[in-house]
Chains A and B, each alone.
Chain A
């Protein structure tokens, strides 16, 4: 039983990160119908920039805030310099563009910050908390807590704030949004900035638990994509559930089945969902018009 709890803790912690990356995918997809394969790089930038700033003597909180801002700026730059000029390109072209951008970002980080891996100190020490025979790392609480706060915040933003509503409206029907006077371009930029910030927060929160390096973004990006698809592409809150499900499934599989095949679990799951529920667990079905 304590083992089960341990796997659940581990799964929720990892799942929360996938969720944060998944939200990023959903936000960008909603605004632009682009799958941003550079999403994982925001996670990497968050962690790496914070490490670099702390090494320069900046305290944790300001360092984290600046890192989030840097990631958001990279997100905006990505939209302005790479996505917008290729607005009318096909799916494949856009995928290649975002992949190219992710290589570019990794290349820059590699040159500026080096290829070594780094770690951040834990926010509240490393003393594990005992819960029902299992141990919970304080950083896990930070991660899950941050996810809850961000999701609630995002929900309120969409429901209450006029700009949040504008983002939702654009996702729903771009043309109609334009007609009622919503600045679609601003929505696009904001979506990229927002999803970059979410990714960066994820990167900063996990760096104390795992390690961060210029290339950690690739796998996180793919897992986040899994979360987004599982939750139904374009549904930020579906992506949260998708992320948690992927994380939990991985941890339980690692614990009870085979740690060697934990990554396979996520991908087998995604294939099954795509084969039997092509619009994801929480997505809606669309019909093609001829």
Chain B
């Protein structure tokens, strides 16, 4: 049983092929990283898996189920969560409300229940707030509970996105450059956080530039270059792969 399976996936934008015939699978419960130089197609791949882009060809399977034709919110309901390279915070809400949105899939009250404040909506609110507060504490944001999102520092927002994604209780969590723009201390904290998430049994897929982070925590690495799958394997295997060294590691002193 695989957590995520991608077969022959391709996406082109008006003649430019961003992802080209990529096939790989991801086993449950580990930390997987997708690396590659800028423009290798990592974020496009994320967007294809999340369902934000419709692939030109190929299939995506989540936990064995073909989701290629499903909308992003349907994939989310199947246990797929993610964060974004360019922050996608709800800046029109407080920090804790951002995380509470993450509880959307776990709500019981419907639209009318919400409108008329039925007991189910009250219960939802109570439960969501408690869960959100717990998750914010877990990512180290307990000081920001009722802060307005647009007044928070960048590093905190990065962690807020992770807390929000966790609130949906995903089985597969995709993190797009969680350490980008963070200082070394913050990066270390993120490192620990990712490991603890994986320790809870959530499959983590990471896109990251910080090689030290990637090499340190990944169980399995997928290397993309120019939209194509270049190599995959353990950090040690990948680091030894001459193609990878040539294409990526060699080109950038890490």
A/B contact in complex, CB under 8 angstroms: yes
Chain A: CB-nearest residue to B50 = A290
B47 touches A290 (CB 8 A): yes
- Minimum CB–CB distance from B93 to chain A (whole Å) comes to 16
- Does residue A88 face the partner (Cβ distance < 8 Å to B)? no
- Does residue A210 face the partner (Cβ distance < 8 Å to B)? no
A289 to B84, CA, bound (A): 11
Besides A287-B13, A290-B85, A290-B86, 6 new A-B residue pairs in contact (Cβ under 8 A), listed by A number: A289-B86, A290-B43, A290-B47, A290-B52, A290-B84, A290-B88
Interface membership of chain B positions 23-48, coded 1 if the CB is closer than 8 angstroms to chain A and 0 otherwise: 00000000000000000000100010
A287 to B14, CA, bound (A): 10
Interface membership of chain A positions 249-290, coded 1 if the CB is closer than 8 angstroms to chain B and 0 otherwise: 000000000000000000000000000000000000001011
- Minimum CB–CB distance from B76 to chain A (whole Å) comes to 15
A91 to B49, CA, bound (A): 31
Chain B: CB-nearest residue to A289 = B86
A273 to B88, CA, bound (A): 31
Q: Which of A194-245 contact B (CB under 8 A)?
A: none
Contacts of A290 in B (CB 8 A): 43, 47, 52, 84-86, 88
Contacts of A287 in B (CB 8 A): 13
B contact face: mostly helix, strand, loop, or mixed? loop
Chain A: CB-nearest residue to B86 = A290
Chain A: CB-nearest residue to B13 = A287
- Minimum CB–CB distance from A121 to chain B (whole Å) comes to 53
Contacts of A289 in B (CB 8 A): 86
Interface membership of chain B positions 60-84, coded 1 if the CB is closer than 8 angstroms to chain A and 0 otherwise: 0000000000000000000000001
- Minimum CB–CB distance from B251 to chain A (whole Å) comes to 24
Chain A: CB-nearest residue to B176 = A290
Interface membership of chain B positions 1-27, coded 1 if the CB is closer than 8 angstroms to chain A and 0 otherwise: 000000000000100000000000000
Chain A: CB-nearest residue to B43 = A290
The 9 A-B pairs of least Cβ separation, nearest first, read A290-B47, A290-B52, A287-B13, A290-B84, A290-B86, A290-B88, A290-B43, A289-B86, A290-B85
A289 to B88, CA, bound (A): 11
Interface membership of chain A positions 64-98, coded 1 if the CB is closer than 8 angstroms to chain B and 0 otherwise: 00000000000000000000000000000000000
Chain B: CB-nearest residue to A285 = B14
A287 to B47, CA, bound (A): 13
- Minimum CB–CB distance from B140 to chain A (whole Å) comes to 26
Contacts of B43 in A (CB 8 A): 290
Contacts of B13 in A (CB 8 A): 287
Q: List 9 A-B contacts (CB under 8 A).
A: A287-B13, A289-B86, A290-B43, A290-B47, A290-B52, A290-B84, A290-B85, A290-B86, A290-B88
Contacts of B88 in A (CB 8 A): 290
A236 to B226, CA, bound (A): 37
Chain A: CB-nearest residue to B88 = A290
Chain B: CB-nearest residue to A284 = B14
A287 to B54, CA, bound (A): 12
Chain B: CB-nearest residue to A287 = B13
- Minimum CB–CB distance from A220 to chain B (whole Å) comes to 36
- Minimum CB–CB distance from A89 to chain B (whole Å) comes to 15
Chain A: CB-nearest residue to B46 = A290
- Minimum CB–CB distance from B207 to chain A (whole Å) comes to 12
Contacts of B47 in A (CB 8 A): 290
- Minimum CB–CB distance from B10 to chain A (whole Å) comes to 16
A120 to B172, CA, bound (A): 72
Contacts of B52 in A (CB 8 A): 290
Chain A: CB-nearest residue to B85 = A290
A5 to B4, CA, bound (A): 65
Contacts of B85 in A (CB 8 A): 290
A289 to B85, CA, bound (A): 11
A287 to B12, CA, bound (A): 12
Chain B: CB-nearest residue to A288 = B52
A202 to B47, CA, bound (A): 47
- Minimum CB–CB distance from A90 to chain B (whole Å) comes to 11
A120 to B13, CA, bound (A): 53
Interface membership of chain A positions 117-152, coded 1 if the CB is closer than 8 angstroms to chain B and 0 otherwise: 000000000000000000000000000000000000
A290 to B13, CA, bound (A): 14
Interface membership of chain B positions 84-100, coded 1 if the CB is closer than 8 angstroms to chain A and 0 otherwise: 11101000000000000
Chain A: CB-nearest residue to B84 = A290
Contacts of B84 in A (CB 8 A): 290
A290 to B48, CA, bound (A): 12
A290 to B85, CA, bound (A): 8
Chain A: CB-nearest residue to B52 = A290
- Minimum CB–CB distance from B89 to chain A (whole Å) comes to 13
- Minimum CB–CB distance from A93 to chain B (whole Å) comes to 14
A290 to B43, CA, bound (A): 8
A96 to B47, CA, bound (A): 35
A289 to B86, CA, bound (A): 9
A289 to B47, CA, bound (A): 10
- Minimum CB–CB distance from B40 to chain A (whole Å) comes to 16
